[in-house]
Amino acid sequence: MTDPVCLANIGFMKSKSINILGIETSCDETAAAVVADGNIIKSSIIASQTKLHEKYGGIVPEIASRAHIEKIYPVIAEAIERAEVGEDDIDAIAVANQPGLTVALVIGVTAAKTLSLMWEKPLIAINHLHAHLQSAVLCEKDLELPAVALIVSGGHTSLYDYRSPLEPKLLGSTIDDAAGEAFDKVANILRLPYPGGPSIEEAAEKGNPEAIEFPRSMLGADSLDFSFSGIKTAVLYYCRGQDMKGEDKVDSMSEQEIADIAASFQAAVVDVLIKKTERAVERIGAKTVLLGGGVAANNQLRNRLQTMCETAVPAKKLLVAPKQYCTDNAVMVASLGYHKFKAKLFADLTLEPKACGL
């Protein structure tokens, strides 16, 4: 399955392309992909667990782990079949080993180690956040550097100074909740379906973003860190009263009131993300801005960042991950794996999953 987004990059086919099998199990998606030469997508298979976690309003680690065990083999087998490659055509196996839920990461890492041993292929360890960043540059041939990369996902909100795929330098990150986590928790408060990001975005379309003035936490004039727990609490207080002893008003709210809260919350989160990215761009003199991670699927964020880049002096180029590669996938893992393969940055069979990793 060749992605149309990347057809332009096929152009001149080299005699022997480098095929990387990517494996991703850091959270609630079991994914595998085969990518040639870093950007020719031969297959991308994703088994989403959204339905399993929906009724809990968030991810339950034990359920995620069990679902990965069930799906990992069929997902990898399908990725290889759809790519129409044999094991001999695979040059290396890249796997996300950090950051994420260790009980989930361990399934992908174990599968990758097993295949590496059986097929005698190099193993490549991938940082899941750096891989998200790769989704934004997947099809770009003329990337002007330095770039500022904003990665906004369910577990992380991070700004990077990006000068090469191998060594993005962290400029700032969340000190409490991630942006996606705030979307999920606020959706929960508003009784909107999980995952919260798309539900809030949909509800916000009919709402007034200026209806409620939720706080925008900037953490000081120079800070590139983020904090989203305050705004989540502000929404909770708005719905339940300051002392949390009042009745929960959500059930008696009209659809318009819910839409106004969703729109005002979304506007506040996007304001903070834009302002901090603008600061980072000024700080490093960036020529390009990269956007990736699950929350990058949000149209408000994409449009506002586009405006920020167009109105900056001088204007910046914005590269946003295609929507299907914003949320977790293995294409981004295989793509970054290609760069690590070229740099001969291999792992060995002692590779372990790690919950943290910036």
Does 97 bind Zn ion (CB under 5 A)? Our answer is no
Taking residues 278 to 297 in sequence order and writing x for each that binds ligand KG4 by CB under 6 A, - otherwise, the string is ---------------xxx-x
Among 110, 298, 308, 319, binds ligand KG4 (CB under 6 A): 298
Cα–Cα distances (Å) from 224 to 91, 177, 277, 355, in that order, read 39, 15, 8, 23
The answer to whether 130 touches 292, Cβ cutoff 8 Å, is: no
Question: Which residue number, 38 or 197, has a Cβ lying nearer to ligand KG4?
Answer: 197
* Binding range to Zn ion, per CB under 5 A, among 71-79, 160-168, 200-208, 325-333: 325-333
Q: How far is the CB of 243 from ligand KG4 (least distance, A)?
A: 29
Which residue of 3, 28, 260, 328 would you call a contact of Zn ion, by CB under 5 A? 328
Q: Does 198 bind ligand KG4 (CB under 6 A)?
A: yes
Q: Distance (Å, rounded) from C-alpha 147 to C-alpha 160?
A: 8
Minimal distance in Å, beta carbon 221 to ligand KG4?
27
Instruction: Note whether 143 and 288 are within 8 A (CB).
Output: yes
Q: Does residue 58 bind ligand KG4 (CB under 6 A)?
A: no
Per the DSSP assignment, residues forming a β-bridge with 33 are 22, 44
Q: Among residues 19, 30, 44, 153, which is the contact residue for ligand KG4, using CB under 6 A? A: 153
Dihedrals φ, ψ of 345, to 5°? -95, 90
Residue type, 189: I
Closest CA to 297 of 272, 268, 326, 319: 326
Helix, strand, coil shares, percent, the chain, to 5: 45, 20, 35
Q: Which of residues 114-153 bind Zn ion (CB under 5 A)?
A: 153
Residues 241-260 contacting Zn ion, CB under 5 A: none
What element of type H or E holds 281?
helix 255-284
Of 295 and 351, CB closest to ligand KG4: 295
Choose the one of ligand KG4, Zn ion, none that binds residue 183, judging by a C-beta under 5 to 8 angstroms depending on kind.
ligand KG4
**94: CB partners within 8 A, 6+ apart:** 20, 21, 22, 23, 112, 124, 125, 126, 333, 334, 336, 337, 338, 340, 341
Query: Which residues inside 108-127 make contact with ligand KG4, applying CB under 6 A?
Result: none
* Nearer CB in complex with Zn ion: 116/157: 157
Quick one: 27 or 90, whose CB is closer to ligand KG4?
27
- Residues 157-196 binding ligand KG4 (CB under 6 A) are 180, 183-184, 195-196
Give the contact letters, 22-41, x = binds to ligand KG4 (CB under 6 A), - = no. -----x--------------
209 is an interface residue for ligand KG4 by CB under 6 A: no
- Residue 219, SS3? coil
Rounded Cα gap, residues 241 and 234, in angstroms: 10
Q: Do the beta carbons of residue 182 and residue 232 sit within 8 Å? A: yes
Q: Which residues bind to Zn ion, rule: CB under 5 A? A: 153, 328
Q: Which residues bind to ligand KG4, rule: CB under 6 A? A: 27, 153-155, 180, 183-184, 195-198, 201, 293-295, 297-298, 327-328
